[in-house]
Structure 1
Amino acid sequence: MFYLVLILLICSVGINIFIFQSRVKQRTEVKYIRNKLRAIIDEETGERLLLYTDDKYIKSLLIQINRLLEHNQKTVANYNNIELSMRKMLSNISHDLKTPLTVILGYSEIINNDKNLSAEKVMSLLKTINLKTVEVLDLINRFFELVKLESGDKKLNSSRVDICEISRKIILDYYEILINKEFEVAIEVPEEPVFVRGDEDAIERIFNNLISNAIQYGSDGKMIGLKLRTDENNVYIDVSDKGKGINELHKDRVFERMYTLEDSRNTNYQGSGLGLTITKRLVEQMGGSISLNSVPFQKTTFTVGLKRIRF
């Protein structure tokens, strides 16, 4: 009996020692986690919690904390990208507004102060003022359209749309411009109707943005292409040109807010940088996709994919 009691006592002491050591180790691990988290937050590092432990609860806690840290770092990175993008957008808007507004102010002062101007000269200056005013209004309207799209305030309607009919209509709208600029026009649009589900006004805006973009930036190639192709589930619209194109360094950025190539800041390639961003948002709101493939001075193609319907 004595030996049984002694064995039980020894076991009890051993268990208590094990529990004590486990608690000490657990406290040490929790203390490490606390201190490391504090350092990561205070120093804003991208570290993770790395700790070898046999405790399954500590392991589970570490996994969830690291998931939270990763999510937080992605959120911070996204916020920083948006903030940088907004700063660039505001900077570019200021630039694009300043130029026409300076012209408007300067020409209006000339008309107001120079009493010897001929009627013909006044009319010429007023025509320029009018053009620059339209330019300012267009930029402001584009900016607010993008704000509405990104905030979710602009809701698109959904209906059955014959994409072939819209294609032919839009290209006819540009017929005179293309003829005057001596562009070669390559059109591949099926004669039979092809239907997509989307907002007709938004689809027309997408066509207008892409075609005007091809005319503006692809003018060196003197060619514009519009091709409609389909598969079982999708309709693809290719708008192409043979102009200076977009090299690999810029391809992933052309859809960013207010992003423009350096050439777009001169008189030959003036652009607000909002057209393609608006186009991308409109396509995405209709559940579609847009991509770019470009070989400078050979072929640059923007491809829009929309869901096909058959009724």
Structure 2
Amino acid sequence: MSDEIMIFCLTVCIIFLAGIVIYQQFAFHTGTKAKLREISCKLKQILDSNSDEKVMIFTDNKVLVELAEQINRMLENRQKIKVEYRRSEMASKRMLSNISHDIKTPMTVILGYLEIMRLNGIQSNEMMQKIENTAHHVMELITQFFTLAKLEAGDMDLTLEKVNVNEACRENILDFYELLSQKEFQVEIDIPEQTFYTNTNKDALQRMMYNLISNAIRYGREGKYLGVFLWADQAHIYIDIADRGPGIEKEFAESVFDRLFTMEDSRNSSMQGNGLGLTIAKNLALQLGGDITFVSQPYQRTVFTITLKKMAC
């Protein structure tokens, strides 16, 4: 075979192989574009219809498979955000509705007593006392509502200072002394002689304890017991507030600190509450770098624990 024929054959082979490579590249790019167009159309359809579908693609191209996986991750996150938004929106509407109802009811009582007094032309110390008590209840509701609104909007100014936690516990217990005596509660207090300090907002700490003790008295009244225990380890300070009431059923455990969740949902339907006290306490604790947790054994021991960062003396 002459050299010219060999060169010709080699040239033909090279051209043929080059043609195969070019065709494969063309087919690859054409197929890739088609798959990308398919993904784009599907994604547009999902977004336009606001559906919860996922992008499905059948290909051996690992890059396209990974792209589809990342798009589906984004769609899943979008779906979660939608669910949380709807939940938050519904909670806000429920909160406004409940607060409006809670404010309207005592105000109706106030107006009713005033109307009776006007018609009878008399003044009754007992009626006046009821009016004053109801008015205080209204003010408490309004204060709680706006406190929570400020906390969730990040507008609450929580100035930090060195706080004597032992003293804060004693002050809170004294505030409830008369009420506990009237209701004949057994009170157990354990505040050690060693003083514990934390860097926090004193008013916020007092509010957290007030809300938790109020809940223990209101919802644990059947047990007629209140326990307040202060203790610490090397890093944290713990304040336990315990009662022996109906407790909190496991099915409600994740909802206890939600807005508008009231203890009558899980304990006793005859007890009244507005569902903001624990939410406010939890929000305050988290914003101050602490936390509030709880454990519950119905009619044995329900304990809410405030956790604070310990500060060196």
Q: TM (normalized to structure 1)?
A: 0.91
Give the letter aligned to residue 68 of structure 1.
M
Report the counterpart of residue 305 of structure 2 in structure 1. 303
User: In structure 2, how many angstroms separate the alpha carbons of the residues matched to 1:237 and 1:58?
Assistant: 55
Report the counterpart of residue 15 of structure 2 in structure 1. 9
User: In structure 2, how many angstroms separate the alpha carbons of the residues matched to 1:267 and 1:306?
Assistant: 33
Give the letter aligned to residue 3 of structure 1.
C
Question: Runs of 4+ in structure 1 displaced over 6 angstroms?
Answer: 263-267
Report the counterpart of residue 71 of structure 1 in structure 2. 77
Report the counterpart of residue 24 of structure 1 in structure 2. 30
CA drift at 1:56: 4.6
CA drift at 1:300: 0.7
Report the counterpart of residue 184 of structure 1 in structure 2. 186
User: In structure 1, how many angstroms separate the alpha carbons of the residues matched to 2:274 and 2:98?
Assistant: 8
User: In structure 2, how many angstroms separate the alpha carbons of the residues matched to 1:56 and 1:258?
Assistant: 48
Give the letter aligned to residue 10 of structure 2.
L
Report the counterpart of residue 239 of structure 2 in structure 1. 237
Report the counterpart of residue 64 of structure 2 in structure 1. 58
CA RMSD of superposed structures (Å):
2.1
Report the counterpart of residue 212 of structure 1 in structure 2. 214
Matches within 5 A, 1:46-125: 46-112=52-118, 114=119, 116-120=120-124, 123-125=125-127
Q: How many residues align?
A: 307
User: In structure 2, how many angstroms separate the alpha carbons of the residues matched to 1:263 and 1:124?
Assistant: 33
Q: More displaced, 278-287 or 77-86?
A: 77-86
Which of 158, 161, 165 is equivalent to 2:160? 158
CA drift at 1:268: 5.7
Give the letter aligned to residue 28 of structure 2.
S
Output one character per residue of 1:61-96: Cα deviation in whole Å (capped at 9) or x when no partner: 324322322221221121111011112111211221
Matched, 1:149 2:155: no
User: In structure 2, how many angstroms separate the alpha carbons of the residues matched to 1:269 and 1:232?
Assistant: 39
User: In structure 2, how many angstroms separate the alpha carbons of the residues matched to 1:145 and 1:213?
Assistant: 18
User: In structure 1, how many angstroms separate the alpha carbons of the residues matched to 2:40 and 2:236?
Assistant: 52
Give the letter aligned to residue 51 of structure 1.
I
Matched, 1:276 2:282: no
User: In structure 2, how many angstroms separate the alpha carbons of the residues matched to 1:104 and 1:263?
Assistant: 27
User: In structure 1, how many angstroms separate the alpha carbons of the residues matched to 2:158 and 2:256?
Assistant: 24
- Counterpart contact for 2:264–2:272, Cα < 8 Å: no
Report the counterpart of residue 292 of structure 1 in structure 2. 294
Gaps (5+ residues) in structure 1? none
User: In structure 1, how many angstroms separate the alpha carbons of the residues matched to 2:191 and 2:56?
Assistant: 59
CA drift at 1:307: 1.0
Identity, in percent, stands at 41
CA drift at 1:236: 1.3
SS at match of 1:119: coil
The structure with the larger Rg is: 2
SS at match of 1:48: coil
CA drift at 1:264: 9.5
Relative distance call for 1:103 and 1:266 in structure 2 (3 A) is farther
Q: More displaced, 149-158 or 267-276?
A: 267-276
CA drift at 1:57: 3.9
- Counterpart contact for 1:263–1:269, Cα < 8 Å: no
CA drift at 1:198: 0.9
Give the letter aligned to residue 250 of structure 1.
F
